[in-house]
Amino acid sequence: MRYAHCVFYRQQVLFRRNLSQQGHRMDYWNLALLFGVGSIAGFINVNAGGGSSLTLPTLIFMGLEGALANGTNRVAIFIQNIFAVASFRKNKMHQFKTSTELSLLTLPGAILGAILAVRISSVVFERILGGVLIFIVISLFFSRSYKEREPDQQEQKNWLIYPALLGIGFYGGFLQVGVGFLFMAALYHLLKVDLVTVNMHKVFIILIYTLPALLIFLLSGNINWKYGLALAAGNAFGGWWGAHVAVKGGAKVIRIILAVAIIIMALKLFGLF
């Protein structure tokens, strides 16, 4: 009887050990997947937008609830844009005074959006996410094309930039998915600057408004740091090279990446991957 008990106990220990090892292996695969997805998302985010349409569903697929996935994604977005801003600066592309002024316009909306994001249920969040993804793809296919502009063209401010940035800030604080496209449209059409300058301002603005949003998710306990840092490492890698490619390749490369980003989002929504 005692022997049978010992055998049973040993089997239980081995079973738990195997489960633990399998869990660790699965976790390593998850972290590697997040780094890979983050690298692609970071590159796309800097040059176009829509990277979070890859990262958020990935986090939800890994078992994170809506608000937790949303908050975890902000860790990656914040670190990604630190590297993107640094890369633009290294390539001598920066207008920190103007970028800061534009960023401040987004802060009130971003704070309110983040507060709303941590208060809604996961089911509602995921339904909103699905609807937004569909809307972004449809709107992009019918939007005006981005034409070539001279990099040194004088910036022209349209008063509509103020309410536009406030509203985009709210959306960014709430959901983030596709916010890059919205910033590109607003900055390009309302400031009348070239696409490289648009992306330079965009990454700085997102960096600034992400900080208070990130703090709100942190204080509400909606961040998985292990997944967030793995994703952030990928986003930072992709963001650094994305900014480098944007400066070296110019508007032509950005338009190509923008088109590819739209196609990827469309294919994803059609369930082809």
More confident residue, 131 or 94: 94
Query: In this predicted structure, what is the pLDDT of residue 120?
Result: 85
Residue 50 backbone class (left: φ over 0; alpha: ψ -120 to 50; beta: rest): left
Query: In this predicted structure, what is the pLDDT of residue 21?
Result: 47
Within a 13 Å sphere around the CA of 4, how many CA atoms are in the beta-carbon half? 1
Residue type at 79 in one-letter notation:
I
Instruction: Retrieve residue 117's tokens.
Output: 């994001």
Mean per-residue pLDDT of the chain: 80
Query: In this predicted structure, what is the pLDDT of residue 89?
Result: 92
On the question of pLDDT at 196 being above 90, the answer is no
Residue type at 32 in one-letter notation:
A
More confident residue, 155 or 20: 155
d(CA 109, CA 205): 13
Burial 169-203 (b: 16+ CB within 10 A, else e): bbbbbbbbbbbbbbbbbbbbbbbebbbbbbbbbbb
Residue whose C-alpha is closest to residue 114's, from 82, 78, 70: 70
Query: In this predicted structure, what is the pLDDT of residue 42?
Result: 92
Q: What is the mean pLDDT of residues 194-199?
A: 87
d(CA 125, CA 96): 34
> pLDDT tens digits for 222-251?
999 999 999 999 999 999 988 888 788 766
> pLDDT tens digits for 34-74?
999 999 899 988 887 778 878 988 898 888 998 999 999 99
Q: What angle do CA 31, 33, 34 make, to 5 degrees?
A: 65
Question: Three-state DSSP class for 209?
Answer: helix
Query: In this predicted structure, what is the pLDDT of residue 244?
Result: 84
On the question of pLDDT at 216 being above 90, the answer is yes
Which range has the worst mean pLDDT, 20-29, 32-41, 86-95, 188-197?
20-29
Contact 113, 172 (CB under 8 A): yes
Query: In this predicted structure, what is the pLDDT of residue 175?
Result: 85
Instruction: Retrieve residue 124's tokens.
Output: 């509602």
d(CA 239, CA 188): 20
Which range has the worst mean pLDDT, 52-61, 110-119, 159-168, 211-220?
52-61
pTM assigned to the model: 0.77
